[in-house]
Amino acid sequence: MSLYADDDFLLTIAHQARVAYGTQRLNACWEALQQRQTLATLGIDAADDRRVEHEVAYYTKQVEHWQDYLARLGEESQVVGSVRALVELNVAQSR
């Protein structure tokens, strides 16, 4: 295995880890946002309403952040080459 293939393999694994982390964070923030929106519709009292309103705003921004993060990861052109090299590496090793 060449040094270039090792680098491509590591880049691909790092990219997959970033995608997995971003996806996990997006799902967690999305779930929290939905819970806060449900609480907002209940409207228990004024103090809770204000707190929940701030939490809804926070989690809305977090969802947008993680969506943007994952979109940027999808646009990385370097990873496309890395994935291609990883596939070629797997094919070469299986022979």
List the domain boundaries for the chain: 3-94
- Residue 14: Cβ within 10 Å count: 12
Whole-model pTM?
0.70
Q: Which residue has the higher pLDDT, 8 or 32?
A: 32
pLDDT of res. 22: 95
pLDDT of res. 46: 66
**What's the chain's length in residues?**
95
CA distances to 29, 38, 56, 57, 66 from 53, rounded to whole Å, are: 15, 11, 5, 6, 20
Tens of pLDDT, residue by residue over 26-70, are: 999 999 999 999 888 887 666 778 888 899 999 999 999 999 999
